[in-house]
Amino acid sequence: MRKTTTKLADGRELIYFDRDESAQRDVQDRRPLEPTASLAEIRRDPVLGDWVTVAAHRQARTYHPPADECPLCPSRGERLSEIPAADYDVVVFENRFPSLAADAAVHIEAAGHPRPTAEQPLRLSRPGVGRCEVVCFTADHQASFADLDEAKARLVLEAWTDRTAELGALPEVEQVFCFENRGAEIGVTLAHPHGQIYAFPFTTPRTARMVAQAAEHRARTGRNLFEDLLAAELADPVRVVLSGEHWTAFVPFAARWPYEVHLYPNRRVAALTGLTEPERAEFPGLYLELLRRFDRLFRPAEPVPDQPAPRTPYIAAWHQAPRRNGAELALHLELFTIRRTVGKLKFLAGVESGMDAFVNDVSPEAAAQRLREVAT
């Protein structure tokens, strides 16, 4: 792998990851861009204790552009995009419309925004200092992650790992989150196959709950929660979807989503940076098979003439240990779709959105069985 770091016209960082170690990436960004100004801030919810990011400047971000104006496709001729090169393998760059930014404090102060004082405990806030990056998986606008070959998927894994290491070393960063949203139903505003990486200045609420549960389990049993969880699934594999020497994919016992799969390395590690070479080598094949099974879930029995096969909308989320209090956590990927059956979505309505109390329309055992059935 060859990693090449350069700058875009407005000073944002762009990184090429190439399989060809001799690749040369000296093309300059020719766009007349002004530097970005992020006014992101984080505010603490005094009722729940969660940090909420406020990033009003994102209202102006690019929204469903036509394919010939896609900002994630390579630049060709006079059609200039976020990627100056005419082709690429995998690219990572700083988001032009970030929810978190390294210079957020400078821009907030320059804008003259009032800052809460210590005498306002119900209005705690601070600049949204962090970083948001975009990961482009392929130059092919019509492709999807599931269309990649194993070598390209491995390159994406290397990019995730590289960014986890670099962003996790920043003093202001508490947690690194790599994820992919796919499908307009999920809310994706750019159709090009891509994911994102958030470097948070706080531990996210979901991770904080995992930390608390792992601590409680350790205090009660003397064992690690995630090791016990994986062992239990392997001992009674009714919800196991597929497995290899180094990874296991299963539908969790209390799945929230109709089709939800968790992919764990069989050896507990805290983050992507802790994976061994054999674990890295096995991951692409298993993950690609999972994604392809998700795409087979809702396909019609008979293909529709002159129409591409429908693709399942999903979210793929890497859970990694935060900087603090994360010793008990285990790296794993959670993959789920908001589709519950053909032509029907799982909407987060009253009890889910209002009370965070999920109601699943599909039993986890039935979902696992279905995912095994669509293996071919």
Report, as residue numbers or ranges, the catalytic residues.
Answer: 194
Q: d(Cα 148, Cα 162) in Å, to the nearest integer?
A: 20
How many residues are listed for the chain in this entry? Answer: 376
**CA-to-CA distance for 281 and 299, rounded, in angstroms?**
30
**In this structure, what token pair is assigned to residue 120?**
């306002």
Q: Is 212 left (phi over 0), alpha (psi -120 to 50) or beta?
A: alpha
Report yes or no: 333 and 217 within 8 Å, Cβ to Cβ: no
Residue found under tokens 């010793």 = 327
Which residues contact residue 209 at a Cβ distance below 8 angstroms, ignoring those fewer than 6 apart?
none
Angle, helices 150-168 vs 277-296, to 10°: value is 120
Cα–Cα distances in angstroms (integers) from residue 220 to residues 169, 211, 215, 252, 349, in the given order: 33, 14, 9, 22, 35
| Cβ-based neighbour number of residue 189 at 10 Å | 11
The answer for residues whose C-beta is within 8 angstroms of residue 259's C-beta and 6 or more apart is 251, 294, 297, 336, 337, 339, 340, 362, 367, 370, 371
Radius of gyration in angstroms for the set of CA atoms belonging to the chain, rounded to a whole number: 21
